[in-house]
Structure 1
Amino acid sequence: MKCWDAKTENRPSAKKLYQILKKWDKEDEKLNSEIRTQMDKYNRKIREKTLKNRSNDNKSESIKTHPQALYTSRFLSFKNLPEAVNSSDLSSFQVNSDDIPSVSANLISECFDYLNEINQEDDSNLND
């Protein structure tokens, strides 16, 4: 397994990993349609069961805590959260190289450089 090699020079680059994962994704798309149909059906059943088992909002009222408890769990409401916004500008993400060994910083830098390349390619493909 190249990714786990003790010598960093024997490990694949971020670009190579991206290419491998992209290849696997394309192969996954070519899966037999019957298998994919069965997988989708199974995933739908799992989602339905999860929704049925999900607790309702009033459940928190029925929970009793011990009067001597120091810490208690509570349900959090995430109904009024703002919508998530993703940025395609990765340059705003800063890595403090003092906190990370130089090898790791170089790998992180390489990953972000390659992600920027991919982003630019995707943007140019959208404009075509």
Structure 2
Amino acid sequence: MTKRKPYERKMGATWWLKNAFHTKYIIREGSSLVIAIYSMVLLFGLFRLSQGTDAFNGWLGAMSQPAWLAFHLLTLVWTLYHSITWFSLAPKAANLWLGQKRVPDSWIVNSMYGALAGISVVGLVLVLI
């Protein structure tokens, strides 16, 4: 067995700020944490709904506070950022072919935006009816 000490590269806490690709990656991954917290808030609202009208109205009242409204706005911005970056990565993950030709990246990205728009319209219609 050798007594040589292996090389250990020092990596500081801000290593991801030195490369734009890594910075965007870390921000996108961080956005998923905010989305997870938002999901827990919505699940708690569903729990309060199961407890009755008064409990749910209390939760709705709490959600209308300025701090929660700011959190909802932050979550919307991070969700949009996460979606945009994810949609731009989709063609790299989906290697689709039509016959002998590869499907253009723009078709994949635009179809994902179309699906997002369609699902959003259906959701709005269901909420407003």
TM-score bracket, shorter-length normalisation: under 0.3
Structure with the bigger RCO (C-alpha within 8 Å, sep 6+) is 1
More helix by share: 2
TM-score normalised by the chain length of structure 2: 0.27
TM-score normalised by the chain length of structure 1: 0.27
Q: Which structure's CA Rg is the greater one?
A: 1
